[in-house]
Amino acid sequence: MLRQAPLHLSIMIIVLVAATATACTTGSAPRMVGTGDVVADRQRVMKLQGEQMTDIQNKIKADNIEGIATNAEVLAITSMQITSLFPEGSLTDKSNAKPEIWVRWGEFEATAKNMTIWSERLRDAAKNKDQKAVADVLKDYGRATCVSCHDTFRKPLPRS
């Protein structure tokens, strides 16, 4: 009995370690709560992000600098969800994602993190009603965030 107990314990520990190691090496974060259709979920998030960008442009024209902070915060929070929306095995025919995401996961993660940083910078500038700072961020925001990811990790979209 005393000899069997350590054996069972050892087996349990080995199984737990193996499971943890597998989870750590798959290159994806724990999945965000969503509808269960992760491709649809992430396309909704991207659409929402695009709507923030359009709203930002409208607020610039309306001289509503402070109002941009809300959009920037949405961009920041949704960018934090990006990696959880791209679990391994989620490349379907409905997805525009490229397999490079999972081959260059570290770079993909860094690009998402970069969007968070830029969005927070924009949010803070807008909260401070600093028109020049907002303009400075927005001048390069699209290229530094959306484009830097899309050019590498998204298939070119059919455009009109």
Partner 1 sequence: MTSAIVAVLLLLGSSAVATAADPAQLARGKYIFGATGGCGCHTEPKGVVNAGGRKFDGPFGTVYASNITPDTKTGIGGWTDEQIITAIRLGRRPNGERILPVHPFTSFNGMAEDDLTALVAFLRSVPPANRTNTPKKISIPMFESVFLPAWLITFASKETPPPAAPVSGVARGEYLVRAVGHCGECHTPRSAVTMAVDNSRLLAGNSKKTGPEGQAAPNITPDKGTGIGDWTEEQIATYLGTGNRPDGDVAGGLMGESIQGTLAGYRDMTQADRQAIARYLKSIPAVKNKIE
Binding residues for partner 1 (CB under 8 A): 47, 49-54, 57, 138, 142-143, 146-147, 150-151, 156-160
Q: Which of 81, 71, 78, 68 is nearest to 30 (CA)?
A: 81
Q: Which of 139, 137, 150 is nearest to 69 (CA)?
A: 137
Beta bridge partners of 97: 154
Place of tokens 């290229």: 143
CA 6 vs CA 15, 21, 101, 106, 145: distances in Å: 14, 22, 43, 39, 52
| Least distance in angstroms from the C-beta of 51 to partner 1 | 6
| Least distance in angstroms from the C-beta of 49 to partner 1 | 7
| Least distance in angstroms from the C-beta of 61 to partner 1 | 9
| Least distance in angstroms from the C-beta of 88 to partner 1 | 25
Q: Which is nearer to partner 1, 14 or 142 (CB)?
A: 142
Q: Which is nearer to partner 1, 129 or 143 (CB)?
A: 143
Q: Which is nearer to partner 1, 30 or 158 (CB)?
A: 158
CA 153 vs CA 13, 27, 56, 141: distances in Å: 38, 15, 25, 18
Q: Which is nearer to partner 1, 122 or 146 (CB)?
A: 146
